[in-house]
């Protein structure tokens, strides 16, 4: 494994091949860890994003504003956007900039383009673009902010989660939801934890006829902005990203009709085909909200 200093020097050499003067490049590091900015002549900006997770909506706007200002100063200016693996978090921010700079109008176009350019078909046909559904969702959010809200942070919208409904629960762990634990996370703080086994902070309602389970939250806190919902299991459900069976992100501003419905392909981890022996094609999570 290469040491950070070696990696930084290799990256610096690549940047200098694009622009001989270091005065013309700026690095945007979008990982959760850091490195000594001296390797890039202290021309580094940080956007903190946890691995396989999403940037805060506010940070996306700050990032594009900074890139926009930098690129307008000199036509020779270039940027480097990178994280640890250079795929999910990097791709999310690259696609955001592609939309902001009018290179693409839609999130889908920018995501398709990044995936095509990121995948080296000479070595493998495996797709190497942005795969995590929540990351793609946030690129879609940025498209809306640009096209409908003039790149302004939307007004805060407060909501409370009334319940979470898991569709096609049969075969998922115990198949009745009693082995599930749900965490509601806002600004990296767990604001509610529901343990279904003892119905702590929640009530469980199994509907065998519809093959679904409803987790009704008790004392559900008021939430706003970027929200993460994370599911753990007491059973041997396969763990993926974030060291859990499945999770997802959303921003309350974009919730329509107080309901969010996420099918299997829009849930982080169940979107991967290797999990489909556990999660059927009709597996989905539905979140129902109420106004506080």
174 Cβ partners below 8 Å, 6+ apart? 235
Among residues 205, 222, 223, the alpha carbon closest in space to that of 214 is found at: 205
Please, are residues 141 and 135 in contact by the beta-carbon 8 Å criterion?
A: no
CA 97/CA 110 separation, integer angstroms: 9
Please, are residues 285 and 265 in contact by the beta-carbon 8 Å criterion?
A: no
Which residue matches tokens 């013309």?
A: 24
CA 149/CA 136 separation, integer angstroms: 19
Please, are residues 81 and 30 in contact by the beta-carbon 8 Å criterion?
A: yes
Please, are residues 230 and 186 in contact by the beta-carbon 8 Å criterion?
A: no
The distance of Cα 253 from the centroid of its chain, to the nearest Å, equals 16
Among residues 219, 244, 224, 231, the alpha carbon closest in space to that of 285 is found at: 231
Between the CA of residue 279 and those of 172, 197, 258, 265, what are the distances in Å?
A: 7, 21, 25, 10
Of the candidates 83, 95, 194, 202, the residue annotated as catalytic is 83
Q: How many CB atoms lie within 10 A of CB 139?
A: 25
Is 18 one of the catalytic residues?
no
Among residues 112, 105, 89, the alpha carbon closest in space to that of 31 is found at: 89
Active-site residue list: 83
């Amino acid at each position: 494994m290469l040491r950070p200093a070696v990696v930084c020097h290799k990256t610096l050499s690549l940047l200098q091949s694009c622009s001989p003067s270091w005065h013309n490049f700026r690095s945007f590091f979008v990982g959760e860890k850091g490195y000594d900015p001296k390797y890039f002549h202290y021309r580094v900006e940080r956007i903190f994003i946890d691995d396989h997770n999403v940037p805060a909506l506010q940070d996306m706007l700050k990032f594009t504003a900074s890139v926009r200002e930098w690129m307008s100063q000199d036509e020779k200016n270039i940027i480097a956007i990178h994280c640890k693996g250079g795929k999910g978090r990097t791709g999310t921010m690259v696609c955001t900039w592609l939309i902001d700079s009018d290179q693409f109008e839609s999130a889908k176009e920018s995501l398709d383009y990044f995936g095509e350019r990121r995948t080296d078909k000479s070595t493998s046909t495996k797709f190497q673009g942005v795969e995590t559904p929540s990351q793609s969702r946030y690129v879609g959010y940025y498209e809306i902010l640009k096209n409908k809200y003039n790149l302004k942070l939307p007004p805060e919208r407060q909501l409370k989660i009334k319940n979470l409904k898991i569709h096609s629960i049969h075969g998922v762990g115990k198949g009745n939801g009693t082995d599930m634990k749900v965490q509601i996370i806002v600004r990296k703080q767990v604001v509610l934890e529901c343990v279904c086994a003892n119905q702590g902070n929640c009530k469980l309602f199994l509907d065998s006829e519809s093959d679904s389970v409803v987790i009704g939250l008790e004392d559900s806190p008021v939430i706003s902005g970027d929200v993460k919902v994370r599911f753990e299991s007491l059973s041997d459900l396969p763990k993926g990203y974030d060291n859990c069976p499945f999770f997802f992100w959303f921003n309350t501003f974009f919730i329509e009709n107080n309901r969010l419905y996420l099918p299997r392909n829009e849930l982080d981890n169940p979107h991967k085909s290797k999990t489909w022996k556990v999660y059927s094609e009709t597996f989905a999570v539905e979140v129902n909200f109420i106004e506080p």
